[in-house]
Amino acid sequence: MVKNYDEFKNKMEKTLSVLKDELASIRAGRANPKLLDKITVNYYGTPTNITQLASIQVPEARQIVIQPWDNKILNDIVKAIQMSDLGINPNNDGKVVRLVFPPLTEERRVELTKEVKKLGENSKVAIRQIRRDAVESYKKSEKAKEITEDDLKMAEKDIQKFTDEYIEKVDKAVEAKIKEIMEV
């Protein structure tokens, strides 16, 4: 039986969502609490996300303040940040952990834009794979005489249309992130 377009659109939407999450976790010179989403702290033997252990604030554009609800884990938070790929040395004053983001160098900006473009290209490949799977399922339905040849052509056209829409959304997300990175 023919699958509904919604299934394929949902897969493309998930691909776009994953891309946006990955882009949000890339440091672009500004302090963004999303950067801490992937950092976990060993909290009483359980790897726990920093965002679940502390309140996180951005008092100014290049600074994040992490205030844990349990002061005993301050040093653990510092260690987790140092071991992460953030590349920032946290300052611990006994009550809060401060992350001060230095401005990005031109070389680092270029490196990050390449990384962003690669993530965008990977998302486009995933969307095209979803399109390929969708078209294949319709071709199988046509071979099984469940749909007509005209229905198949119409489905291919519709699938290509929403594939183009999602690829455009990926391009816009990548473009916005690159603009954010290159902003001095």
Written as tens digits, the pLDDT of the chain (184 aa) is 455 788 899 999 999 999 988 888 776 767 778 778 778 888 888 888 888 888 888 888 788 898 888 888 888 888 888 888 777 788 888 888 888 887 778 888 888 899 999 999 999 999 999 999 999 999 998 898 888 888 889 989 999 999 999 999 999 999 998 988 887 6
Report pLDDT for 89: 83
- Retrieve residue 147's tokens: 């749909």
Residues 110 and 20 reside in one and the same domain? yes
**Is residue 141 within a helix (H) or strand (E), and if so which, with residue range?**
helix 106-143
DSSP one-letter string for 23-36: HHTS--SS--GGGG
Residues 15 and 75 reside in one and the same domain? no
Residues 129 and 67 reside in one and the same domain? no
Domain boundary among 69, 100, 131: 100
The predicted model scores a pTM of 0.72
Report pLDDT for 120: 94
Question: How many residues belong to the chain?
Answer: 184
- The domain that holds 118 is classified in CATH as 1.10.132.20
Residues 112 and 177 reside in one and the same domain? yes
Decide if 116 contacts 172 (C-beta within 8 A): no
Report pLDDT for 1: 43
Residues 19 and 63 reside in one and the same domain? no
Residues 125 and 163 reside in one and the same domain? yes
Residues 96 and 110 reside in one and the same domain? no
Domain boundary among 47, 74, 100: 100
Residues 114 and 163 reside in one and the same domain? yes
Residues 136 and 170 reside in one and the same domain? yes
Q: Residue 137 sits in which domain range? A: 5-24+105-182
Domain boundary among 79, 100, 121: 100
Residues 37 and 62 reside in one and the same domain? yes
Residues 93 and 147 reside in one and the same domain? no
Report pLDDT for 175: 93
Residues 11 and 66 reside in one and the same domain? no
Number of domains in the chain: 2
- The domain that holds 80 is classified in CATH as 3.30.1360.40
Question: If you search the block for the tokens 């969708």, which residue do you land on?
Answer: 134
